[in-house]
Amino acid sequence: MPGARVKPRARIVFALAAVLAAPAFAAKDKVTVAPEEAAVRRLTGEQYRNVIRVVFGPTIAFGGHFEPGLKVGGLAAAGASSIGVTPAGMEQYDAIARVIAAQVVSEPYRAQTMPCQPENAKAADDACAQQFLSSVGRLLYRRPLTPASLHAHVAAAHAGAEATRDFYKGLGLSLAAMLSAPQFLFRDAELETDPDTRGGWRLDPYSKASQLSFFLWNAGPDLPLLAAAASGELSSRKGLAHQVDRMMASPRLEAGVRAFFIDNFGFDEFAELTKDAVLFPKFSAQAANDAQEQTLKTIVQLVLKENGDYRDIFTTKKTFLTPELGAIYRVPLVDDRPTGTPDGWAPYEFAADDRRAGILTHMSFTALHSPAGRGSPTIRGKALREVILCQKVPPPPGNVPFNIIQDTGNPLFKTARDRLTAHRANPVCAGCHKITDPIGLALENFDGAGEFRTTENGKKIDTSGELDGIAFKDAAGLGKAVHDSPATPRCLVNRLASYALGRLPGAGEQPWIAALQASFADTGYRVPDLMREIAVSDAFYRRALPRPPVVAGTAPVQQEAK
Amino acid sequence: MPRAAVLIFAAALISGPLFGQQAMAESKSFVVTWFGQAMNSKDGDCGPEGPNPRWPEQRLKNARDLGYSAEEVEKMLKEDLRGDEGYEAGKIVQANVFRGRINGEAVNGYLYPSTVIDPKLRGLTGEKARFQYGFNLDGKVGDKDFEDPETHEKGVDSAFTRAMGCMPTFRGGLTPAAAPLEYAWAWAWKKEGRSAWIVTVTAGDLTRDGDATLTFDRAIERLRFNADGSPRSDSSYRIDPSPKSHNEYKARIKDGLITLADPGAADFSMVYNPEFIPVIRMTKVHIRLKVLPDRTIAGFLGGYERWDDLYIAYASGGKSNEDGNAGDLAGLYWLLRKYADHDPSPATGQMMAISATWNFYGIPAFAVKIEAPTASVHH
């Protein structure tokens, strides 16, 4: 049925473990949480790709497009537990799976992907098929295949080989089925009883490994982590801490940090971003790609490689640029590599008196939060409030006229400030614009594509404003105000926790969030420390049982751990 | 990632040592986005007969000048158009290609233009041709000199303009949109095949009257473009260290106009485009340019130029240039030779150079000296 969605929650399996088998814990969370119910999450497109690259190699090509996600609280990660797969999306998954599987079993890849060779390449070989499928299945399903599941996949490979008279084609068909299976496409949430809380539940070791791995690396668990899950090491606080430290020390942590900030700042929206080529001729697909990467490189350098204060991303003069961006930022930068090679990156520091400071002055913010034909203090202010300060800005009423704001050629209102002042004369509009405009106007030195300007329609731009009572005169001042705002680090904790959990934290989890915020402040706002704090928290893995569906005329049945 | 390959330079680092000697100098660079002959064509500026015939008509006339009767030319044309031999290989075409004569033998007219009968094409003439861009190069005000329409300087020497002004494909105005077909074609086709030109103005304060340094350099990179095909401003270009294309002049800023401090005292040499004009070489150079409110520049370059350089540029494409854009190439030869006004040959007295005016536009850019070793900041 078109539009129908699979209900992944229905697939949750509960594994009961003996309460008495609980290991001795080194330390417990200092706060008590009332966890939210368990939910499975659909892999994001990037997670899907990461898993495939890790398991089968970095050169695997992907065909087709992944179904778009759903944002909850501005985060795709938080929406991943609220979506399923449409029939059209399932077709895409199937097509992508077949493309991947065909490559994996193709002759050039066999040396690196096949642990065995069939006795006869034109016939089924269940032993070899089982060896391959159990090996990759463990990585793809992120837990060992059950005997029944392995048997089914081997049988599928057998039938495929007989039908095609080709062992590898048969194996590819079975692998394609594996790549289209819910166990691969969805991160499961199998539960076990939590020995620390009476009647409580927590993720089982394999689900815990997935939770941890996708949070820190944005990819599935590696073999050591799966081994830790299998051995029970991951169930002890000491063992968990060991694995967390190992993963935090890995270069793959950068992928996890990047994935969070891509989601946090909504960089997926660059895929849809367009600009009027007449008004903003320097904007291009290359510039858009570079703009995202500039901000990501800046953040990774500051918060990860230098282990700096997160708040400094709003004030730092240091960044990275390509020649493509150099033309937009008006800085001298050349690339002397051979013609035709992609633009290279170079570190750059804006001068002390340069108006650019912090990521709010990057093209990735000013251009992304602007319409196609102009800049927008309101949209930029709204984004800053919602994404960086976690403050909700109500949508405009449906009957508000925007003609003054959009009339950028009006000689009476030459600057955006002039136009917004006139627009705010409408009392219906004034309330929200009071929240957004004083901060958005500080970025008016950057046009709709992020290029610097000092005038609009010949009139000098006034970039003064205020953020929650802190006055500033320009974008650098706004960055400082954001840096100093207590809402800024609080918001990051909220969003990182939401990202990690795959949903917005529930009311019962707020003590944990508060503890994370305090801890974040104690560490000097170090993001890696915050990630570690989340990763080793009991609260990160505790879950409530899903509420059974309410059927009309019946009372919900309470489930308890036995 | 080979980060070392990506070089960053602060503008302050490059302005002083590379482009001038002024202490605490301010420097602005521009990449040239248009370079062409400065034309100012007006109706009636070719006299009562108007501009010279277009090439399809001129080549019939040339055939008649070669001795074919009007009837023979018409017959040849009909046969050519019937296409038995292909029009381009037809008799009229061949007659024009080989319209040179040496000892009665037909020779390639592009290679031996002096052996071609002078078609006596017209140059600019009369009062309506009076206003042409340029400079008074010889310090005299002669009867044949022009008046600059912008500065109203009299005695403007721009014989190149007079020579080409009545060729249909050389008529036009200054801007790229109004440019003569010949230069619009040359720029559009060649701009991505040649290194960009960089103009740099250096002064203590570019907004005030005073001394300045003006340089013209050739870049390593080609002109960079936006996604819509327009030239990209604020891009960085490495300066070719070769002295062949380094031109440095003492200049003055007066009311926003930048001119040479000692006009006519220096030469100009820039490698241009090997497929068009390989080198722009001028003597007794005059330059004026303005930085406009939109941060772009507009300027003029005048001086004496060897006219055989120019002829070779137009004739190097042979028949295809003649057909497509330049028009009668041998006719151009005779025009240039006729109007040449400088540097007489000691042997023959024939003037070897012609006074010329080019105009150019530019957009902001960064000039980077490639030997500069220091990046502004590294993490």
Q: What is the pLDDT of residues A160-175, one digit of tens each?
A: 999 999 999 999 999 9
Q: Please report which confidence band the pLDDT of residue A15 belongs to, taking 50, 70 and 90 as the band edges.
A: very low
H or E stretch at B30: strand B26-37
DSSP 8-state symbol, B206: T
Hey, is the C-beta of B379 within 8 angstroms of any chain A C-beta? yes
Q: Do A326 and B11 touch (CB under 8 A)?
A: no
Please report residues of B whose CB lies closer than 8 A to that of A334.
6-7, 221, 236-238, 368
pLDDT in tens, A413-434: 888 888 888 877 777 777 778 8
pLDDT, residue B79, reads: 82
Distance from CA of B345 to the nearest CA of A (A): 45
Task: Give the one of A285, A330, A333 whose C-beta lies nearest to B8's C-beta.
Answer: A333
A51-55: average pLDDT? 95
Question: Over pLDDT 70: what percentage of chain A?
Answer: 91
CB contact under 8 A, B232 and A282: yes
Would you place residue A5 in the very low, low, confident or very high pLDDT band (cuts 50, 70, 90)? very low
CA distance A297 to chain B (A): 12
Cβ within 8 Å, pair B6-A323: yes
pLDDT tier, B191 (very low <50, low <70, confident <90, very high otherwise): confident
Looking at residue A430, its pLDDT comes to 78
Look at residue B9 and tell me whether its pLDDT is greater than 50.
no
pLDDT digits over A436-449, tens only? 889 999 999 999 99
- What mean pLDDT do residues B76-81 have? 82
Structure tokens at A301: 């350098």
Mean pLDDT, rounded, of chain B: 88
Looking at the complex, report in whole angstroms how far the Cα of residue A411 sits from the nearest Cα belonging to chain B: 19
Residue B206 touches partner A, C-beta closer than 8 Å: no
pLDDT given at position B337? 97
* pLDDT value for A3: 33
pLDDT tens, position by position, A207-237: 999 999 999 999 999 999 999 999 999 999 9
Q: Per DSSP, what are the bridge partners of residue B37?
A: B358
- Does the complex come out with an ipTM higher than 0.95? no
Average pLDDT over all residues of chain A: 89
Do B11 and A332 count as a contact with CB atoms less than 8 A apart? yes
| pLDDT for the residue B376 | 45
Probe site for chain B from A273, A306, A333 (most B CB atoms < 10 A): A333
Can you tell me which residue has the tokens 């105005």?
B173
Best B1, B3, B8 member to test A by mutation, with max A CBs in 10 Å, is B8
For residue B219, the cross-strand partners are B239
Output the pLDDT for position B92: 87
Q: Is residue B4 scored above 60 in pLDDT? A: no
Stretch A450-471: mean pLDDT: 92
- The string of DSSP letters for A210-233 reads HHHHHHHHSS---HHHHHHHHHTG
Question: Burial of A224 by CB count in 10 Å (0-12 exposed, 13-18 middle, 19+ buried)?
Answer: middle
CB contact under 8 A, A318 and B377: yes
Write the DSSP assignment of A418-448 as a string of letters.
HHHHHHTTSHHHHHHHHHHHHHHGGGTTB-T
DSSP notation for B208-219: SSEEEEEEEEEE
Across residues A70-87, what is the average pLDDT? 91
Which of the pair, B13 or B165, is modelled with greater confidence?
A: B165
Amino acid at B134: G
Distance from CA of B365 to the nearest CA of A (A): 8
Query: Per residue in A255-295, pLDDT tens?
Result: 999 999 999 999 999 999 999 998 999 999 999 999 999 99
How many Cα atoms are found within 13 Å in the side-chain-facing hemisphere of A83?
22
Average pLDDT over residues B49-73: 92
